[in-house]
Structure 1
């Protein structure tokens, strides 16, 4: 464990435990809404569910036979009773959790090849998936647990890496190998792309909103983080908007902190801290400076674990309820839990 204690902060990322069990690369970790369970997905075609027993974290369930290839992403429904899984076998699995047991109740088909990411809307009534086939699909969830395709969006020109929903609105963001971020909303009876954000110089690997939804965070192959600010129509700053759509402007670029690609970021909704994962095997944590101007915000690196994993760190996820508890996973097959101290 290495603490750089930069910029006057005395914040440290302390290791809590290492969770072993996956036989190949672990691609994704995701907390359930109550923060009591952690789901992980792997190239070994399994999903593992981890929970705490006393002072120890243990594997509660292993979900098998849902997919034929790598499971790239998992996401919990807002109610915590369903888990969605996106796989390189071109399908998305829906798992129902009842009395602690998981059952695959649906397999969503339609993408031409690898599904890279899956995300639930805050209402729980919509699901989004994205794929190497350059498309984003939006699925409607019916009361009888049926999943129907509501829209196929082909706004990107390359492999779509990630999808995420606005925390309170039914607005979707996606990012792609085409170096762009797209925002979508429903108009009349169909979904349309309402904004294209361009600033990254290479593949955008992930996007996530802050807790208010008025900011967006992105990371990319260009070894940068970018903060995007929303400017609604009639904004006092005078940023030009079109129709009823907000404008989104890149107001901060964090560069020089990473030696390799930044694969993943997570913006903590309880502390405001940003964690990053990348090809340099490190985890970095950033915090916005006090009295920062929202139109020209300043963020500082507060701590780094240089060798957080033995190989690429693929995903980081802040626990939604326990302040400062962070999960990470890696090509090295390990999942690690970390605790921020010194806040």
Structure 2
């Protein structure tokens, strides 16, 4: 069995401060939660892993713990992205699905909140941003065909994970294929704005296997 370790490095000193073990195959994507409390990893082994990250004030010691590892999809998991407003995240897979998950303090520590409608191609890239136009932000989804879609998310009272608050997702924009990549979308990233005004346009960058980088301006009328 192959080993797929995750190494944590201290920026500045560039010392290894942690070696996290969870997956049996290549880790395809990692992302810290926006408050740096969690590290999410997804892998070719179809699993997701969630680690808690803790740094004691005034100390160089980093604490970390594997909270959960569980099967996320039926095929390779290519992408993941955190909700910038909370402890929810999205995962995307070769099985052509995107799932939304929520982190809670008791078992099960990661709970699946919803699955978006099945896409026509493998999902290879995800990026979640906040927006005045959608309750819980906008999720950019890139596919193996090079196409990009934007979905609006409304998770309801997800802290309670009750049956009374049903998460919803709606397709907002399908990018014109002539504007997109001609092969797999490798990464997506929203411009990080410290403060978003209602009049602000969003900016999305993408890069693909076609060796191209594209920057899109997204406006909502």
TM-score bracket for the superposition, by shorter chain length: 0.7 to 0.9
Cα distance in 2, alignment partners of residues 88 and 223 from structure 1: 23
Query: Which aligned runs of 4 or more in structure 1 are off by greater than 6 angstroms?
Result: none
CA distance in 1, matches of 2:44, 2:70: 13
1:184 aligned counterpart, secondary structure: strand
SS at match of 1:56: coil
Preserved CA contact (<8 Å) 2:48 2:72: no
How far 1:164 sits from its partner (Å)?
A: 1.0
Structure 1 unaligned runs (5+)? Answer: 1-42, 234-343
1:196 matched to 2:177: no
Q: Deviations over 1:19-65 (max 9, x none)?
A: xxxxxxxxxxxxxxxxxxxxxxxx8400000004xx6311111112x
2:24 matched to which residue of 1?
Answer: 68
| Length-normalised TM-score, structure 2 | 0.77
Contact 1:204 1:218 in 2 (8 A): yes
Point out the structure with max Rg over C-alpha: 1
Question: RMSD of aligned C-alpha atoms?
Answer: 2.1
**Which of residues 9, 18, 23 is equivalent to 1:50?**
9
Q: Counterparts in 2 of 1:1-343, with a 5 A limit?
A: 44-52=3-11, 56-64=13-21, 66-99=22-55, 100-144=62-106, 146-167=109-130, 170-186=137-153, 189-197=167-175, 198=177, 199=179, 200-212=181-193, 214-233=202-221
Cross-structure match for 1:33: none
On the 8 A contact 1:73/1:86 being kept in 2, the answer is yes
Post-superposition offset of 1:142: 2.7
Counterpart CA distance in 1 for 2:3 and 2:192 is 33
The one of the two structures with greater contact order (alpha-carbon pairs below 8 A, sep at least 6) is 1
Tell me the equivalent position of 1:3: none
Q: How big is the shift at 1:143?
A: 4.7
For the 8 Å contact 2:43–2:78, the answer to whether it is kept is yes
How far did 1:181 drift?
A: 0.8
Question: Gapped runs of 5+ residues in structure 2?
Answer: 56-61, 155-165, 194-200
Please say if residues 155 and 193 of structure 1, whose CA atoms lie closer than 8 Å, have aligned partners that are also in contact: no
Partner of 2:158: none
Aligned length: 188
- Mean CA deviation greater in 179-188 or 169-178: 179-188
- Per the alignment, do residues 231 and 60 of structure 1 end up closer, same or farther by CA in structure 2, a change over 3 Å counting? same
Deviation at residue 111 of structure 1 after TM alignment: 0.4
Could you tell me whether the CA contact under 8 Å between 1:167 and 1:211 is conserved in 2? Answer: no
Q: Which segment drifts farther, 76-85 or 108-117?
A: 108-117
Aligned position for 2:198: none
CA contact (8 A) 1:208 1:216 kept: yes
Q: Secondary structure at the match of 2:23?
A: coil
SS at match of 1:123: coil
Measured against aligned partners, the alpha-carbon deviations of 1:98-150 in whole angstroms (never above 9, x if no partner) come to 34221111123240021112211112231111111111111122354722111
CA contact (8 A) 2:85 2:130 kept: no
Alignment partners' CA distance in 1, 2:72 and 2:27: 17
